[in-house]
């Protein structure tokens, strides 16, 4: 999608009227949360009249909703270029910067608006709120000194935590996750009850200790006659996670699973999702796998709800511990040496090998480029070659890139997640790049199906099961998200 359309010559009245009509149609699609259709029509409006800043600002917010932060940033910048006084365009750009963790650049946009519109109370308020976030992050960095030296898991005193008499929820047995514990926990969560903090902390500490010993790329062996399941994004949709287990059976040594990142954020039952998944990880460590997604990161958790949810249901200290645990999640899994599974996608260079992935030092927040970043953020594109990412991070890669990577590494195909698909999955690049997304009716608005993949060890042929969203308690998505960020994205 181009956002730097050439502006040449005068625009006819006819084209301006046609563009306005297209914009109005796009707005209707936007109201129905049909963002791809809205973007298509805004783009057509821009073709007719590339001098109207509103069209670019509107396309920017639609791209923000689809997490196309790179496109959103580019469109907002274009709107500003066309109309320096257009306040909304600065807000759009600020929201895109914040989504990319570039809070100081967001602050600059608010500062500019307050200077050119000194009496605008809304602009002043947004500047003040953004400034608070920037200062808070600076303060968190200052008190953490060197994150590698501060080990939250080691500072937790479980012995000092007492289980109150009135607590009647699931309990670890001698400090260990059992099948009884997990099955009780899932039912407890369905009733919107909260696991005791002592057990919650113990699970996190134990998961971290296990993950620290694992490589960045996990090799999985699946026997010829055995079944294996791969799930995509869950995004805090706990009741849909329960539906997956209902449709496909609970995880066990004979029913292994891989959950491919983005367990949390957006959906407002992220705490329930992650503790259920981590419990299964501890129960069946060699038959239950979890990959890191781009939402198992501090910036995403800060904006999209997980950090707020953990702080609300437990403490900000536990939110910090989650960040510490997520840093140790593996970045990719290889099934029988033939199928590579990662959350995002492939790379900006052709020479990357499986050994290169194995050697990645993953115990950190993802950098803005390189192998780790691209595993979490990249997306496939239908055309050959590579392109800058629509998300502003990672890259877009074509079928030739996929083919070269598979050939170099002796693989059959790749599975990735990271993108909403109407059918819950998409087969691209001549069947060599499969997307699976397991959160149906994403954010209660997208209307998509969810899907998971099953295969047997012998032929590793992907089979797709799709399903609709199930009912959940009346807690809206993004209920715990940064309220200021939510306001920007209205």
Cβ atoms 459, 487 nearer than 8 A: no
Can you tell me whether residue 79 is helix, strand or coil?
A: helix
pLDDT (tens digit, 0 to 9) for every residue of the chain, 490 residues total?
444 445 567 889 999 999 999 999 999 999 988 899 999 999 999 999 999 999 999 999 999 989 899 999 999 999 999 999 999 999 999 989 988 889 999 999 999 989 988 998 888 888 898 898 889 888 877 776 555 567 899 999 999 999 999 999 999 999 999 999 999 999 999 999 999 999 999 999 999 999 999 999 999 999 999 999 999 999 999 999 999 999 999 999 999 999 999 999 999 999 999 999 999 999 999 999 999 999 999 999 998 999 999 999 999 999 999 999 999 999 999 999 999 999 999 999 999 999 999 999 999 999 999 999 999 999 999 999 999 999 999 999 999 999 999 999 999 999 999 999 999 999 999 999 999 999 999 999 899 999 999 999 999 999 999 999 999 999 999 999 877 777 766 6
> Which residues contact residue 273 at a Cβ distance below 8 angstroms, ignoring those fewer than 6 apart?
234, 236, 237, 238, 241, 263, 264, 267
What's the CA gap between 295 and 54, in Å, rounded?
30
Q: What is the pLDDT of residue 447?
A: 92
- Report phi then psi at 319, rounded to 5: -60, -40
Q: What is the pLDDT of residue 48?
A: 95
What's the CA gap between 198 and 355, in Å, rounded?
39
- DSSP 8-class letter at 158: G
What is the Cβ-side half-sphere exposure of residue 477, based on CA atoms within 13 angstroms?
20
Show me where the domains of the chain are located. 13-144, 152-485
- Report phi then psi at 130, rounded to 5: -65, -40
Q: What is the pLDDT of residue 436?
A: 98
Query: Catalytic annotation on 295?
Result: yes
**pTM greater than 0.85 (yes/no):** yes
> Which residues contact residue 340 at a Cβ distance below 8 angstroms, ignoring those fewer than 6 apart?
332, 333, 334, 354, 409, 411, 414, 415
Cβ atoms 77, 108 nearer than 8 A: no
68-102 in b/e form (b: 16+ CB < 10 A) is: bbbbbbbbbbbbbebbeebbbbbbbbbbbbbbbbb
Q: What is the pLDDT of residue 4?
A: 46
CA angle 12, 14, 16 (to 5 degrees): 70
CATH 1.25.40.10 for the 13-144 domain, yes or no = yes
Q: What is the pLDDT of residue 145?
A: 58
Nearest Cα to Cα of residue 415 among 333, 295, 329, 330: 333
Q: What is the pLDDT of residue 137?
A: 83
Q: What is the pLDDT of residue 7?
A: 52
Q: What is the CATH number of domain 152-485?
A: 3.60.21.10
Name the catalytic one among 295, 333, 418, 429: 295
322-348 in b/e form (b: 16+ CB < 10 A) is: bbbbbbbbbbbbbbbebbbbbbbbbbb
- DSSP 8-class letter at 378: -
What interhelical angle do 35-48 and 53-65 show, nearest 10? 160
Query: Do the strands 395-397 and 386-388 form a parallel or antiparallel pair, or are they unpaired?
Result: antiparallel
What's the CA gap between 107 and 413, in Å, rounded?
43
What's the CA gap between 365 and 346, in Å, rounded?
19
In 52-92, the DSSP E strands lie at none
Nearest Cα to Cα of residue 462 among 429, 423, 418, 425: 425
Residue 314 has which token pair? Answer: 């437990």
């Amino acid at each position: 999608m181009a956002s730097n359309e050439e502006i040449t010559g005068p625009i006819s009245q006819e084209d301006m009227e046609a563009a306005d009509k297209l914009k109005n149609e796009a707005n209707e699609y936007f109201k129905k949360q049909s963002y791809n259709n809205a973007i298509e029509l805004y783009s057509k409006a821009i073709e007719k009249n590339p001098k109207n800043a509103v069209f670019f600002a509107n396309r920017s917010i639609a791209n923000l909703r689809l997490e196309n932060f790179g496109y959103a940033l580019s469109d907002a910048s274009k709107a500003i270029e066309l109309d320096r006084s257009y306040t909304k365009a600065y807000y759009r750009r600020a929201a895109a910067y914040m989504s990319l963790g570039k809070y100081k650049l967001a602050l600059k946009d608010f500062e500019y608006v307050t200077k050119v519109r000194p009496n605008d109370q809304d602009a002043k308020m947004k500047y003040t709120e953004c400034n608070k976030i920037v200062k808070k992050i600076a303060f968190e960095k200052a008190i953490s000194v060197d994150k590698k030296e501060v080990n939250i898991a080691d500072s937790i005193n479980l012995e000092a935590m007492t289980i109150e008499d009135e607590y009647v929820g699931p309990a670890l047995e001698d400090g260990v996750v059992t099948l009884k514990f997990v099955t009780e926990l899932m039912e407890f969560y369905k009733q919107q009850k909260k696991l005791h903090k002592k057990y919650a902390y113990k699970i996190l500490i134990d998961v971290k200790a296990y993950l620290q010993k694992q490589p960045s790329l996990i090799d999985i062996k699946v026997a010829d006659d055995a079944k294996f399941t791969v799930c995509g994004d869950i995004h805090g949709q706990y009741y849909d996670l329960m539906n997956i287990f209902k449709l496909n059976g609970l995880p066990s040594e004979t029913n292994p699973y891989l959950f491919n990142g983005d367990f949390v954020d957006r959906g407002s039952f992220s705490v329930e999702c992650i503790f259920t998944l981590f419990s299964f990880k501890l129960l069946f460590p060699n038959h239950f796998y979890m990959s890191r997604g781009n939402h198992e990161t501090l910036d995403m958790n800060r904006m999209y709800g997980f950090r707020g949810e953990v702080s609300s249901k437990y403490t900000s200290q536990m939110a910090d511990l989650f960040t510490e645990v997520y840093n140790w999640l593996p970045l990719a899994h290889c099934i029988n040496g033939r199928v590579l599974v990662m959350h995002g996608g492939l790379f900006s260079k052709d020479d990357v090998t499986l050994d290169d992935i194995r050697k990645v030092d993953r115990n950190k927040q993802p950098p803005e480029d390189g192998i780790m970043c691209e595993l979490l953020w990249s997306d496939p594109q239908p055309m050959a070659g590579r392109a800058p990412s629509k998300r502003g991070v990672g890259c877009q890669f074509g079928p030739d890139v996929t083919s070269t990577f598979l050939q170099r590494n002796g693989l059959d195909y790749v599975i990735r997640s990271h993108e909403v698909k109407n059918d819950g999955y998409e087969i691209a690049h001549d069947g060599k790049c499969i997307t699976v997304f397991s959160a149906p009716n994403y954010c209660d608005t997208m209307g998509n199906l969810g899907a998971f993949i099953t295969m047997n060890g012998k032929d590793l042929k992907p089979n797709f099961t799709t399903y609709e969203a199930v009912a959940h308690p009346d807690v809206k998505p993004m209920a715990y998200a940064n309220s200021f960020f939510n306001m920007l994205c209205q």
